[in-house]
Amino acid sequence: MLKGAELREAIAQLKTEKNAVIMAHYYQEDVIQDMADVVGDSLALAQQAAKTNADIILLSGVYFMGETAKILSPQKKVLVPDVKAGCSLADSCPADDFAAFKALHPDHTVVTYVNTTADVKALSDIVVTSTNAVGVINSIPIDQPILFGPDRNLGAYLQSLTGRQMVLWDGACHVHEQFSIEKIVALKKAHPESRLIAHPECKQPLLVMADFVGSTAALLKYTQNEQHTSFIVATEAGILHQMRKASPAKEFIPAPPSDSTCACNDCEFMKLNTLEKIYLALKNERPEVLIDEAVRRKAVVPIERMLEISAQLKL
Ligand code: 13P
Ligand code: SF4
């Protein structure tokens, strides 16, 4: 198997030969982020997937991100490095159960976080990401009841920001729920100058303590724009790569998980992807993301609605 510079060169060659684009989420390994044509949060990846001229999109992230790209660009071939790169939050919301939950609240507008399967998106009225969720919810008439899923932590946080009472699905991300308040309090004492920043998938007590809460893109921007020079970062550790690149003189401390025997602030699904798997996926043109056309046609509607609102909000 090729390694290092040779492997990167072989990937670049395949990309040119096949008119492929590599899109990577901020939680990918540093080497993948550095090799990618586009690095971004889930909103940016969806926006880029909708407008790329490439024939092949290699989506290095988790499976639902590949599905979102395929839903938006059905005429393109969408590849993922490893089909086992799933998402505990998407898994916490099986489509059949969600359909039954939705049936209990027939008059509600169904807003779902992008971390869901294509089948759940097909049951939704509007999709959101953590970058645009507040704007999307505020765009829904105030007297219209809302059902939100699958992330209970993001849902509760959005309720506190928008003042909207929403019916919440009881799902969560195992990575963001693992952060230890006790250890973070100790870290803050040891680094009183440090700003605590957190992703809204974290539990409420951590979000209340945080100096800033935002999506991966918003956290990155905050660290660039703030005068502060030290940050305790409560989200998946992959984002630290872009933070350090953008602000090399600043200090970034990954928030510790409660279980010190594992690096729970790494998403093991995101970290299944490797440069070798990207090379093989481009070479063999598989694993390919395929979606039933009837599901895709339903799922594209709430995603396009989200993209339209994001464009109006200049996000
Ligand atoms: P972003 O939308 O902030 O990229 O988050 C995606 C995700 O999976 C967070 O765990
Ligand atoms: Fe899913 Fe959590 Fe991994 Fe994000 S960090 S992809 S929400 S399991």
Cα 40 to chain centroid, rounded = 9
Q: How far is the CA of 177 from the centre of ligand 2 (A)?
A: 10
Query: Cα separations (Å) of 78 from 73, 157, 291, 293?
Result: 8, 33, 11, 15
Q: Which of 131, 173, 215 to mutate to test the pocket of ligand 2 (most atoms within 8 A of CB)?
A: 173
Instruction: Report the C-alpha gap between 206 and 208 in whole angstroms.
Output: 5
What residue owns the CA closest to ligand 2's atom 3?
267
Q: Which atom of ligand 1 is closest in space to residue 215's alpha carbon? A: 3
Q: Which atom of ligand 1 is nearest to the CA of 214?
A: 3
Average pLDDT, the chain: 96
Distance 201 CA to ligand 2 centre (A): 9
**Per residue in 100-118, pLDDT tens?**
999 999 999 999 999 999 9
pLDDT at residue 11 above 90?
Answer: yes
| 46-81 pLDDT per residue, tens | 999 999 999 999 999 999 999 999 999 999 999 999
Q: What is the tens place of the pLDDT at every residue in 231-286?
A: 999 999 999 999 999 999 999 999 999 877 766 689 999 999 999 999 999 999 99
pTM of the model: 0.95
* Residues contacting ligand 2 via CB (< 6 Å): 62, 87-89, 115, 173, 175, 201, 236, 267, 269-270
Helix, coil or strand: residue 154:
helix
Domains and CATH numbers, the chain: 4-85+270-284 (3.40.50.10800), 89-173+296-313 (3.40.50.10800), 179-254 (3.40.50.10800)
For the CA of 217, the nearest ligand:
1
Model pLDDT, residue 259: 79
Name, in order, each residue with C-beta under 8 angstroms of 237's C-beta and a sequence gap of 6 or more: 27, 254, 263, 265, 266
